[in-house]
Amino acid sequence: MDLYEHQGKELFRAHGIVTPRGIVAETAEQAADATRELGGRSVVKVQVQVGGRGKGGGVVLVDSPERAAEEAARMLGSDFKGHQVTQVLVEELLPIALEFYTSMLLDRSTGDYLAMMTAEGGMDIEELARTRPDALRRVHVDAMLGMRAFHVRELVGTLPTDAREGAADVLRRMYELVQERDATLVEVNPLVQLDDGSVVALDAKVTIDDNALFRHPDVEAYAGAFPIDPVQARANEEGLQYVKLDGNVGIIGNGAGLVMSTLDVVAQAGARAANFLDVGGGASADQMATSLEVVLSDPAVKAVLVNIFGGITRCDLVAQGVLGALERVEATVPLVVRLDGTNADEGRAILDEAAHPRIVAAATMQEAAEQAAALANGPAA
């Protein structure tokens, strides 16, 4: 679960990490009042679960309550990189001397935690890692060993001498947060040193492992502030294994491994998946119909790829489900269907006999991905 910045900062403060004073506003008037309370000047930030806010106009410094109201009015209710803005964070302006970057994340490739720090904060860290990797210090931390003094010394060694003690304290508290809250990512960009030498977390990006939320009811309660995507809500109601993504090819498959592979092949074909949807190993015709209804209800979807390998799932039932869905909902985009495995010939025969104008048959997974990508990236259907 990705937290809003202000929620992440609440966790920061609970673990002793210093942050700027901030007030959440849901209206322009509240943003103006917050700015007055903070001394008449502030920084107004959109609250969305995505990065790149500074470059996208989502972080603005204002010098009056009236300007704060104007910027909040512009942000609230807008769509920021596909995310609806329902809140802004109004924070005090601080006298910043230097900006750094630090993060701690679960590294699934090694089974430990990866901590990173650089003296060059407030910038695109991916670009820095690509162009000047030596500027970014990396330390792997074994969860059984924990964050040790030598880890901290290595990381803060890249910072100015007078900033190291404050940054070291932040690192230790970040690791405590990661461990106690089951976080998979804690990132501060920028971590700043003020004119008085103190170190403050100016930003907060926190991701909590969904599977551990039962241990953290206070964190789980944060989800009540997130806008509800109607497509995701429908999928949840139907009990589907669905994840909304930012592409334009709807994906339906049976089995998590097959669906993940389908996402990769679509990307290789030059398109991006709009979702992950696993109908399960024993998908019925009704489940397939419901899944198609959910995917087709997403306006971002320009083509759908149905990739089924029959085992427990019978391909003839899948074909019936596809046709059943098209009777219940109007398909305005093409459906590329690839069937293989149990009763695949029967399933393909059912689709051929129906001769539906929106259904495009594909013999292989690669062919299906290429057709779906071409259809999604071409002229509107």
List active site positions. Answer: 101, 187
Say if CB 120 and CB 191 are below 8 A apart: no
Q: Give exposure, 291-325, as e/b (b: 16+ Cβ within 10 Å).
A: bbbbbbebebbbbbbbbbbbeebbbbbbbbbbbbb
Neighbouring-strand partners of residue 321: none
Strand order across the beta sheet in which 88-91 lies: 22-25, 88-91, 42-46, 59-62
Token pair recorded at residue 62: 């204002």
Looking at residue 276, its amino acid is F
Coil, strand, or helix at residue 12?
Answer: helix
Coil, strand, or helix at residue 3?
Answer: coil
Coil, strand, or helix at residue 129?
Answer: helix
Say if CB 107 and CB 113 are below 8 A apart: yes
3-class secondary structure for 157-191? CCCCHHHHHHHHHHHHHHHHHHHHHCEEEEEEEEE
d(CA 344, CA 350): 10
d(CA 274, CA 265): 14
Burial zone of 42 (CB within 10 Å; 0-12 exposed, 13-18 middle, 19+ buried): buried
- Mode of pairing for the β-strands spanning 303-310 and 249-253: parallel
d(CA 35, CA 91): 8
Looking at residue 146, its amino acid is G
d(CA 298, CA 301): 6
d(CA 346, CA 92): 66
